[in-house]
Structure 1
Amino acid sequence: MINHLMVGSNDIERSKRFYDAVLGVLGAPAGVLSIASSGHQRVFYRHAGSSFGVSQPINGEPACHANGGTIGFKCESAEQVKAFHDVAVAHGGTSIEEPPGLREGALGPMHLSYVRDPDGNKLCAVWRVPAAA
C-alpha cells in the first residue's frame, strides 16, 4: 500500500550522515543524493522493497516534523532495535520515550525504540516477537 515515505530537512548533508548510519543498521546502502529540477536537494534510500527519502522542502519554507507522526522501521531482531537506537543517538539523534526494549500491547509483544532525527522527525525501530509454535 505504501510506495515511499519522505521527510523534510534543513540540512541534507547532516541528514545523509545520520540516515546512512542509522539505515545501514538495517542493511540499507548509503543514500543517493540528487538535485531536483527545482534545484532542491534530496537523498533517497531503497532497501527490501521500501523507499525512504529526505528532501529540502520544495516550497522553500523551513522543514518541520509532524506532531503525532511516527515513521516505523522494521527490524529483524531485538538486538537490531537496540543498535538502531544507539547508532541514531551516536549520529545526532535524540532518544525519546522509554528506553529500547520489550513492550506488551494489543498487537502482541514487540521490541521498540524511539528516537528523533536531527530535524525532529520521530522514528521507531520495531521487531515483533514471533508467536510461540
Structure 2
Amino acid sequence: MWVEEPATRRRMPDPVRTAAVRAVLIMSLTIIQALVAFLCTMAGSWLAFPMVLGGVASTVVATWSVLDVWVTRQVWNQRNGVVSVPSSTARHMRRERRIARRGARARARGEARIRRRGEGRLSRA
C-alpha cells in the first residue's frame, strides 16, 4: 500500500531549480569533455589540443553556472523573503513592533476614555 510521507526539505523555487538543472547539465558535459580530451591526449590524436582548449572554456562556463545558482537563490530570498525560524531576527523585530503597536493602541484607548468621561460636565470639579 502507498503511504504518503512528508518531504524532509522544502521544494526549491522554480528559478533556483531551473538554474540548478542547467548547472548540472553543464557540469556533466564538462566532465565528459574532459574525459574525451584526456583520451585524445593519450591516443595522440590531433583533436587533443582543441579538446583541451574547449575543456578549459567549459570549466569556466561550469563555474559560472554554479555561481548563477547561488546568485539566483540569494536574489529569490531577497525578493520573496526567507522562511522565518524561531531564532530569526526578523521574527523578533516583528514581535517587538507588534507589542509596541498594542501598547500605543491601549494608551490611545485610555486617553479617549478619559476625554469621554469629562465631556458631559461644564466644569472639571
Shorter-chain TM band: under 0.3
Where is the strand percentage greater, Structure 1 or Structure 2?
Answer: 1
TM-score (norm. length: structure 1): 0.23
Where is the helix percentage greater, Structure 1 or Structure 2?
Answer: 2
TM-score (norm. length: structure 2): 0.24
